[in-house]
Structure 1
Amino acid sequence: MAGETQVTVIGRITREPEVRYMNNGDAAVKFSVAVNARTFSRERNEWVDKPTTFWDVKAFDQGKLKLGENVGNVLKKGDSVIVSGEIETREWEQDGQKRRASEIRAHTVGKDLRFHSDPATQDAPGAWNPPAASSGPPAADGSWTPASTPAAPQSDTWGGWGNTA
């Protein structure tokens, strides 16, 4: 929607995504994200935690765009995520009291890989498994010959990456 407040939040999923399917077969998913903001205090010369903010998030399939279904299939409680979308405010009446809640209607959701520690496995769909260290250039048929032990990184490289020549 035009004119809505756009936000991007980075946090952890606090409950398992709940997927429901609409009459047309499109998925709608609901989950919650906890955002732990920190700020640097110059007076104390240290990082200070701000109060945790909890956001309810909804994501929907839209035709061929399967955001709701993908979130339900891929993400789980505890995952670090980045959610971008618009803030929607709902109003209702309960027990004679007017109530209001704001939530995020997600446009995009992704894993935050800064703290991701799960190893990629060959069984994981889309996992990238780099070839083993080789003892030389590829053979004529394109295959690599694994070395008996991986080569130690050169001292002039950053983490073993870079120009080793």
Structure 2
Amino acid sequence: MAGETTITIIGNLTDAPDLRYAKGSGVAIARFTVASTARTFDKASGGWRDGDPLFLTCTAWRDLAEHASESLTKGARVIVTGRLRLSRWETPDGQKRSMVQLDVDEVGPSLRFATATVKKLTRTTGGIDTPQADDPWSTATATRDTAPATGDGDPFTADGGGFSDDEPPF
């Protein structure tokens, strides 16, 4: 949306995402805190020094909340993109409080110091489903109607790789 402050933060989860469901609507909500600490080079000592840590509370909604809860664990290094939101409230004793939070648009593991295996989900059931054979991102072995009938599949070979001349090879 226009006028919203979008940021990206990279850091470590201080705990596993806390997944809950809203009363009444049943919408999934995951809350987690990302700790990000800047490192600077101190010329005087010739070494690296940690700066002040930033702890940012993040909220993910619906499918993203469930996926984050299933995929991320305490200590995981993550990359989170979202919109800043300022929450204001008053305590029972009359004190005014405020807190900056991040409404998460995207979250994923950082691959700088780790590896990850991605499982694409289908939207048919809203959960993990059988990978689609015609999905190029799927982990399933794909067989397609357009697979070459002859040759090695190279459309630039003499036999055209099994493709007809009136169709492009893609």
Q: TM range, normalised to the smaller chain?
A: 0.5 to 0.7
Q: Distance in 2 between matches of 1:102 and 1:17?
A: 18
3-state SS of 1:52 partner: strand
Q: What aligned pairs does 1:10-159 form with structure 2 within 5 A after superposition?
A: 10-22=10-22, 23-61=24-62, 66-94=63-91, 95-116=93-114
- Structure 1 residue aligned with 2:5: 5
Structure 1 residue 52: Cα displacement: 0.8
Q: Distance in 2 between matches of 1:25 and 1:58?
A: 16
Q: Distance in 1 between matches of 2:29 and 2:36?
A: 22
Mind listing any 5+ residue stretches in structure 1 that lack a counterpart?
A: 127-165
- Structure 2 residue aligned with 1:151: none
Amino acid at match of 1:51: D
Structure 1 residue 58: Cα displacement: 0.2
Structure 1 residue 46: Cα displacement: 3.4
TM-score normalised to structure 2 length: 0.63
Q: Distance in 1 between matches of 2:52 and 2:12?
A: 15
3-state SS of 1:3 partner: coil
> Aligned-pair RMSD on alpha carbons?
2.5
Structure 1 residue 125: Cα displacement: 5.4
Mind listing any 5+ residue stretches in structure 2 that lack a counterpart?
A: 121-170
